[in-house]
Amino acid sequence: MKKTFLLSILFSTYISYGTAQELENHSIPEEKTRVIVITDGEADDRASMVRFLLSTNEFDVEGIINSSSQFHWEGGKGWNAFHPVEWIKEYIELYGKVYHNLLLHDKRYPSPEYLLSKWKVGNIKGNGEYEERTEGAQFIAKTLLTEDHDPRPVWIQAWGGCNTLASALKIIQEDYPEKMEQVADKMRLFLIWEQDKAYQEYIRPNWEHYQIPTIISDQFDCMAYIWNKVLPATVQSFFQKEWMTQHILQGHGALCEAYPNKKGAFNAEGDTPSFLHNLSTGLRNMENPGYGGWGGRYVKVRNNVWMDPKPSSEYNYPTGQYGFDNSWSKMMEHYTDSAQVAMRTRYFQPLWRWLDKVQLDFAARAEWCVKDYASANHHPIINLNLQSLDLNAQPGETIKLDASQSKDPDGDLLKVHWWMYPEAGSYKGNFHFESEHPKTAFKVPQDAHTGETIHIICEVSDNGEPALTRYKRIIITVNH
Ligand SMILES: [Ca+2]
Ligand SMILES: [Ca+2]
């Protein structure tokens, strides 16, 4: 974060910075996302938990619940073995060892005692078992039934099976049928595949008609065990041994040292996209799974259920359970033909396009475990010239865009990158927009039709180490 004259010449497109005093009126947003994690405790869940705990300054954690999955259950043998439930407690205790240092960087980090109070054991005794009223299921039910007048939804992330969630919803249906609609209004679901039969067997027939926003992800898989087969080489460098060892594993305190890795390299974090979706990056993806963000981009396939955009027209959405056995990712995993590999790379792009920034964000949080505020990096704060991020404009109209008043809490130099995200909007004309200037202008394409939307991303990165990025998304609706 040293700012030298030379640096400001080298980074001629960087803009000037604000001091910490100037930033008092630009403090980090207080509103956090309410989340419940349901995990089957696989090694990659334990890796995800390290990153999750380091991200809890942005969440109100309403539950961390052990569950089984089709892969792991209590009593399962070999690959199906179940990791003892106490691993969650152990990771929270490791978080406790770095908690006071994390507070130096964001006072919103929850105490380890608070997190432990949210840890409960759900349905773990079998693959897809959801009849038992376990403590974890009852805890989820109670959280969803509580009338706390909090308008924020509760995002439920299934890192494992849906059985504990199914059990919770069944309790609600049996004991409080009159509350089902109200509970459904409060819920958002992010499923990492359907990792057991419980979604199809119970949740879909009883709850899907309430139009609960539900993402069933397959593109997560590029962050799981196949990352070194399917990610582009430039992105892979952020997952290889050299990078991971330097930025996460060594010298970053007890929690990062316990990160399950593969001989110093990234192993897998298949479940991580479910909470990347809940980070307040500024991408507004929580408003609509079709907008795209750090947790990927999805399309609506039925009711309010969202799945991955098709790799090609030859792929069809599943009618039943979607998971390991019929996953598109698994079909494409072993492609070697160059056209097929290119298709696979495009398929995963909604997720990997952000992953360099995602890894740098992780690295900064790892530094927060051991460094004081002045020695570490913190996210820039984007200030735009606009009253609203939702604009109406006519074809040919010019919209002035200005991010030059953006600030950085560390006084870092900032670099602005504006770009149009065609897949996120409904305008499908052949039009490209990109700019590296803090002040620029966007001219609405002449062939845009009334009602079509155009998404413009303002991406601001600092020159701290590791560099951090935040975003704003402007959505233009075309009118005449
Ligand atoms: Ca898992
Ligand atoms: Ca910074």
Mean pLDDT, range 263-271, rounded to an integer: 98
Mean pLDDT, range 429-458, rounded to an integer: 98
**Mean of all residue pLDDT scores within the chain:** 94
For residue 469, the CA-to-ligand 2 centroid distance in Å is: 9
CA 106 to chain centre: 19
For residue 371, the CA-to-ligand 2 centroid distance in Å is: 14
Phi/psi region, residue 202 (left: phi>0; alpha: psi -120 to 50; beta: rest), is alpha
**pLDDT tens digits, one per residue of 132-179:** 999 999 999 999 999 989 999 999 999 999 999 999 999 999 999 999
**pLDDT tens digits, one per residue of 92-138:** 999 999 999 999 999 999 999 999 999 999 999 999 999 999 999 99
Map tokens 């819920």 to a residue: 187
CA atoms of 286 and 52, how far apart (whole Å): 17
For residue 1, the CA-to-ligand 2 centroid distance in Å is: 8
CA atoms of 449 and 451, how far apart (whole Å): 6
For residue 467, the CA-to-ligand 1 centroid distance in Å is: 29
Pairing of strands 154-158, 33-39: parallel
- Confidence band of 30 (pLDDT split at 50, 70, 90): low
Q: What is the DSSP string of 4-42?
A: -HHHHHHTTTEE----TTGGGGGPPP---EEEEEEE---
pLDDT greater than 90 at residue 2: no
CA atoms of 81 and 60, how far apart (whole Å): 31
pLDDT greater than 50 at residue 26: no
For residue 224, the CA-to-ligand 1 centroid distance in Å is: 10
For residue 73, the CA-to-ligand 1 centroid distance in Å is: 11
For residue 261, the CA-to-ligand 1 centroid distance in Å is: 15
Q: What is the DSSP string of 82-144?
A: ---TTHHHHHHHHHHHHHHHHHTT-TTPPPHHHHHHTEEE---SSTT---S--HHHHHHHHHH
25's CB contacts (< 8 A; 6+ apart) are: none
Map tokens 């065609």 to a residue: 422
For residue 360, the CA-to-ligand 2 centroid distance in Å is: 12
Mean pLDDT, range 287-299, rounded to an integer: 98
**What is the CATH number that goes with domain 1-28+381-480?**
2.60.40.10
Phi, psi of 335 (to 5 degrees): -60, 140
**Biggest CA pair distance of the chain:** 68
CA atoms of 216 and 305, how far apart (whole Å): 7
Closest ligand to C-alpha of residue 18 is: 2
For residue 157, the CA-to-ligand 1 centroid distance in Å is: 10
pLDDT greater than 70 at residue 265: yes
- The dihedral formed by the CA atoms of 134, 138, 144 and 149, expressed in degrees to the nearest 10: -150
Q: Are 476 and 454 in contact (CB under 8 A)?
A: yes
pLDDT greater than 70 at residue 20: no
- Confidence band of 29 (pLDDT split at 50, 70, 90): low
The angle at the Cα of 231, spanning 298 to 306, to the nearest 5 degrees, equals: 10
- Confidence band of 31 (pLDDT split at 50, 70, 90): confident
3-state secondary structure at position 441: strand
**pLDDT tens digits, one per residue of 370-393:** 999 999 999 999 999 999 999 999
- Confidence band of 28 (pLDDT split at 50, 70, 90): low
**pLDDT tens digits, one per residue of 458-477:** 999 999 999 999 999 999 99
For residue 480, the CA-to-ligand 2 centroid distance in Å is: 41
The pLDDT, as a whole number, for residue 1 is: 37
Q: Are 89 and 53 in contact (CB under 8 A)?
A: no
For residue 44, the CA-to-ligand 1 centroid distance in Å is: 7
- Confidence band of 16 (pLDDT split at 50, 70, 90): very low
The pLDDT, as a whole number, for residue 309 is: 98
pLDDT greater than 90 at residue 409: yes
Report the percentage of the chain scoring pLDDT > 70: 94
For residue 431, the CA-to-ligand 1 centroid distance in Å is: 40
Residues 29-307: name the CATH superfamily.
Ribonucleoside hydrolase-like (3.90.245.10)
For residue 357, the CA-to-ligand 2 centroid distance in Å is: 13
Map tokens 């309430």 to a residue: 210
**pLDDT tens digits, one per residue of 301-326:** 999 999 999 999 999 999 999 999 99
The pLDDT, as a whole number, for residue 480 is: 86
For residue 422, the CA-to-ligand 2 centroid distance in Å is: 29
For residue 81, the CA-to-ligand 1 centroid distance in Å is: 13
For residue 264, the CA-to-ligand 1 centroid distance in Å is: 21
The pLDDT, as a whole number, for residue 17 is: 43
For residue 39, the CA-to-ligand 1 centroid distance in Å is: 6
The pLDDT, as a whole number, for residue 14 is: 54
Q: Which residues surround ligand 2, an ion (CB under 5 A)?
A: 377-378, 408, 410, 412, 462, 464
The pLDDT, as a whole number, for residue 148 is: 87
Domain boundaries, the chain: 1-28+381-480, 29-307
Pairing of strands 33-39, 59-66: parallel
Closest ligand to C-alpha of residue 38 is: 1
